[in-house]
């Protein structure tokens, strides 16, 4: 069994320039590995490439150069169907913008990934997933009837219900109050055990300080790596990353 659930080697990503402009380099040579059971945070200034990195690592965006291996499989060398199967069966993604299906209830949204992966999920598991994020009584609500924080919690329940091997979460506590945020962090912490891992992008430095390791991104490169840091250490590293030398 591969010890690393995720391996990224020399990943670079540029987006094509608009109106004849040169391409914009967003990620510039990122290498990292995520061990089984690890809870990793990625922090850094807005626009430093955190979401782009998460998309590339989860196989949702192709890197411009470099490689990504998920569960030992080189994502770029798999065909589209094999990539989709790998994502469906092993990867969970909590989007910064939730991406719930508006026409489905909270319950149906949580049930969807298992249904797409043709995996059995019991009514009890769905109910429990909603209970654990404190939304047991909102199961029949559609996203438009839920607050931003409640939608965010449904998005988290939807991912955690199927127990993916690796969860990518983009600002999973961004819309939550301290109590709900802590609840979600506890769930993510639990999801990073038994050989499963979590990679979380966050602006919340207290949240980052609950992770095993924190990567500080700056201008598309890993600027610092901190092992089990305190919130103050994360704060100092991010403050340094935000200071631009002109």
Ligand X SMILES: Nc1ncnc2c1ncn2[C@@H]1O[C@H](COP(=O)(O)OP(=O)(O)OP(=O)(O)O)[C@@H](O)[C@H]1O
Q: Stretches 45-53, 86-94, 189-197, 231-239: which one binds ligand X (CB under 6 A)?
A: 45-53
Kindly tell me which of 23 and 47 has the beta carbon lying closer to Mg ion: 47
Is 49 among the residues that bind ligand X (CB under 6 A)? yes
DSSP 8-state secondary structure symbol assigned to residue 98:
-
Is 172 among the residues that bind ligand X (CB under 6 A)? no
Cα dist. 226→45, 211, 238, 240 in Å? 16, 10, 11, 13
Kindly tell me which of 71 and 155 has the beta carbon lying closer to ligand X: 155
Query: Are the C-beta atoms of residues 88 and 165 closer than 8 Å to each other?
Result: no
Kindly tell me which of 18 and 122 has the beta carbon lying closer to ligand X: 18
Kindly tell me which of 66 and 113 has the beta carbon lying closer to ligand X: 66
Exactly one of 42, 48, 49, 51 binds Mg ion (CB under 5 A); that residue is 51
Is 48 among the residues that bind Mg ion (CB under 5 A)? no
Nearest-approach distance from CB 50 to ligand X, in angstroms: 3
Is 109 among the residues that bind ligand X (CB under 6 A)? no
Nearest-approach distance from CB 50 to Mg ion, in angstroms: 5
Q: Stretches 50-58, 63-71, 104-112, 155-163: which one binds ligand X (CB under 6 A)?
A: 50-58
Residue 39 contacts by C-beta under 8 Å, 6 or more apart in sequence?
A: 188, 189, 192, 197, 198, 200, 210, 211, 212, 213
- Taking the CB of residue 131, how many other CB atoms lie within 10 A of it? 13
Query: Are the C-beta atoms of residues 160 and 184 closer than 8 Å to each other?
Result: no
- Taking the CB of residue 58, how many other CB atoms lie within 10 A of it? 21
Kindly tell me which of 50 and 153 has the beta carbon lying closer to ligand X: 50
How many residues of this chain bind Mg ion (CB under 5 A)?
A: 1
Query: Are the C-beta atoms of residues 71 and 33 closer than 8 Å to each other?
Result: no
Classify 3 as helix, strand or coil: coil
Give contact residues for Mg ion (rule: CB under 5 A).
Answer: 51
């Amino acid at each position: 069994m591969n010890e690393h659930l995720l391996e990224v080697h020399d990943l670079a990503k540029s987006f094509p320039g608009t109106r004849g402009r040169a391409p914009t380099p967003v990620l510039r040579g990122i290498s990292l590995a995520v061990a089984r059971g690890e809870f990793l945070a990625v922090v850094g200034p807005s626009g430093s490439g955190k979401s782009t990195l998460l998309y590339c690592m989860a196989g949702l965006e192709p890197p411009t150069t470099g490689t990504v291996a998920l569960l030992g499989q080189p994502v770029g060398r798999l065909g589209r169907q094999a990539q989709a199967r790998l994502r469906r069966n092993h990867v969970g993604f909590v989007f910064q913008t939730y991406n719930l299906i508006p026409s489905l209830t909270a319950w149906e949204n949580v049930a969807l990934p298992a249904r797409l992966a043709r995996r059995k999920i019991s009514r009890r598991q769905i109910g429990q997933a909603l209970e654990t994020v404190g939304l047991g009584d909102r199961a029949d609500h559609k996203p438009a009837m839920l607050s931003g924080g409640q939608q965010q919690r449904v998005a988290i329940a939807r991912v955690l219900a199927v127990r993916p091997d690796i969860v990518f979460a983009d600002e999973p506590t961004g819309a939550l109050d301290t109590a709900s945020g802590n609840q979600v962090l506890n769930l993510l912490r639990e999801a990073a055990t038994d050989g499963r891992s979590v990679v979380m992008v966050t602006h919340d430095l207290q949240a980052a300080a609950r992770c095993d390791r924190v990567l500080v991104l700056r201008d598309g490169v890993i600027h610092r790596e901190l092992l089990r840091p305190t919130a103050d250490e994360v704060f100092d590293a991010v403050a340094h990353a935000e200071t631009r030398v002109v």
